[in-house]
Amino acid sequence: MPASQSRARARDRNNVLNRAEFLSLNQPPKGPEPRSSGRKASGPSAQPSCPGDGARERRQSQQLPEEDCMQLNPSFKGIAFNSLLAIDICMSKRLGVCAGRAASWASARSMVKLIGITGHGIPWIGGTILCLVKSSTLAGQEVLMNLLLALLLDIMTVAGVQKLIKRRGPFETSPSLLDYLTMDIYAFPAGHASRAAMVSKFFLSHLVLAVPLRVLLVLWALCVGLSRVMIGRHHITDVLSGFVIGYFQFRLVELVWMSSNTCQMLISACSPGDSTTGKVENHEP
């Protein structure tokens, strides 16, 4: 036994890891101690810390850098959307040449606003009702009643979407009194553009027009949308979205198209005196 102990001590002396500078390599690694470990150990009834506390703290400390990375490195869709939005704002500001008195085309602002008024809802609804009162044919009344339905649908749809999105225009412009009447206050979507697109498609489908008139009708719709951008009221995407919404409104009206009998019932309900007179006149030889 003494010989074996002397040989063991000799091996320990010859082992490099037993030197003072390498003693830390032979000790097991110590986990990170929680901050409150000192306070827990000082108490008389302190219990040993759970080994899961250190792992939980490490996971919490690793979550913060990941959240920062998500904010600093957005997705490709976010980058593309922000880039398109910046291009839209930049191009809309460049095209807003009649946005204010100091704009480059400030002298033409009145004429450009007049073009936009031709696509306003109040003149179109008033003109449709006037033509409906003056109309004496069943086919004309049918077309005018469905046009009135389409105009009312357009105003309600645009007002609802604008109230939901609440997007401001590229310039600080206050809405006019007519805009407040039709609840066309915000920028997205452009109500004038949706109305112009819907009316143009409606006339092209239900009226027999010559080719020059058809071309002028399409150009009028485009000019109405462009005028809203030139006065700084809408972005380019607002006008394009208005054109798309106007087309789908026309398709919806085509699906729920009111027949001649339904139109006559509505007209009779709105004006019972005129309907009675009309019936008497129809029985005259």
Domain range list for the chain: 109-268
Torsion sign (Cα): 113, 119, 120, 123: positive
With bands split at pLDDT 50, 70 and 90, how would you rate the model's confidence at 84? confident
The conformation of residue 233, written as its DSSP 8-state character, comes to S
User: Among residues of the chain, what percentage have pLDDT more than 70?
Assistant: 69
pTM of the model: 0.66
CA 32 to chain centre: 50
Query: Residues 128-154: pLDDT tens digits?
Result: 999 999 988 898 899 999 999 999 999
| 200 burial type by CB count under 10 A (0-12 exposed, 13-18 middle, 19+ buried) | buried
Residue 234 a catalytic site member: yes
Which residue in the list 120, 206, 234, 283 is annotated as catalytic? 234
Distance CA 3, CA 253 (A): 109
List the one residue out of 254, 252, 250, 278 whose CA is nearest residue 264.
278
Among the ranges given (74-88, 129-143, 155-169, 246-260), the one the predictor scored with the smallest mean pLDDT: 74-88
Determine the Cα–Cα distance for residues 264 and 270; give it in Å rounded to an integer: 10
Average of per-residue pLDDT across 248-275 = 84
Q: What is the full DSSP assignment across 36-56?
A: THHHHHHSTT--PPPHHHHHH
**Can 235 be counted among the known catalytic residues?**
no
Q: Is the pLDDT of residue 45 over 50?
A: no
Which burial class, exposed, middle or buried, applies to 183 when counting CB atoms under 10 A from its CB (0-12, 13-18, 19+)?
A: middle
Mean pLDDT of the chain: 77
The CA-to-CA distance between both ends of the chain, in Å, stands at: 144
Which position among 192, 206, 235, 283 bears the catalytic label? 192
pLDDT band at 267 (very low <50, low <70, confident <90, very high): confident
Write the single-letter amino acid at 133. V
Tens of pLDDT, residue by residue over 182-231, are 777 888 889 899 999 999 999 999 998 899 999 999 999 999 999 999 98
